[in-house]
Amino acid sequence: MTFKALGTVLFAALTLLLSSQSSDARTLNIVAFGDSLTAGYQLPPGEAFPARLEALAKSKGLDVTITNAGVSGDTTADGLARIDWSIPDGTDGVILELGANDALRGLSPEDSQKNLETMIVRLKERGIPVLLAGILAPPNMGADYEAKFNGTYKALGEKHDVAVYPFFLDGVTLNAGLQLEDGMHPNGAGTKIMAERIFPIFETFLKSLPQ
């Protein structure tokens, strides 16, 4: 076989290999499950957090779709009530973001933790990995409440071996330029910052999923 012919054969083999690898690749289906912070309160769909994170991930070459399963006003109890039917079969992973409304209403930190734990367990029983997005209690709830509530997410992450992003609103809280007029919810610029801040741990989470 001539050198030219050998080169042609090798090129053809490499092309076939790359084509095979490409056909084996699949889109990862992620569900963002949470409250108004996930849903995109008062924002166009394209500016909600899940859309922002999906766009960022795709710009980095990641083949992923992120479904927005956020419901404004949901507490952890509300999330628990709908977790089974809101997460379809075939979901590769869930970003679980709940607890803000529990803290705002002064609900029991113990109950919030129990609800979140039950959701994590149910998802893991279905073989669906979880990225837990944490929330911090407002300081006006008092130091004791704050300490109990804020420790929830780290404790659950360690107990159930799930990835934890400590504070979902990192970079947005107390920055009026990144919030709606209510001073609580992110605006479009805010959700962009949120996606950028969570992206490193999200990328690691994606790489840990079965491909």
140: left (phi over 0), alpha (psi -120 to 50) or beta: alpha
Say whether 185 is catalytic: yes
Q: Which residue has the tokens 């107990």?
A: 159
Which of 63, 102, 182, 208 does the annotation list as catalytic? Answer: 182
End-to-end CA separation in angstroms for the chain: 39
Tokens matching residue 141:
């709830």
Which of 74, 92, 102, 185 does the annotation list as catalytic? Answer: 185
Which of 35, 36, 92, 112 does the annotation list as catalytic? Answer: 36
How many C-beta neighbours within 10 Å does residue 3 have?
Answer: 7
**165 backbone dihedrals φ, ψ, rounded to 5°:** -100, 115
Residues labelled as active-site residues: 36, 182, 185
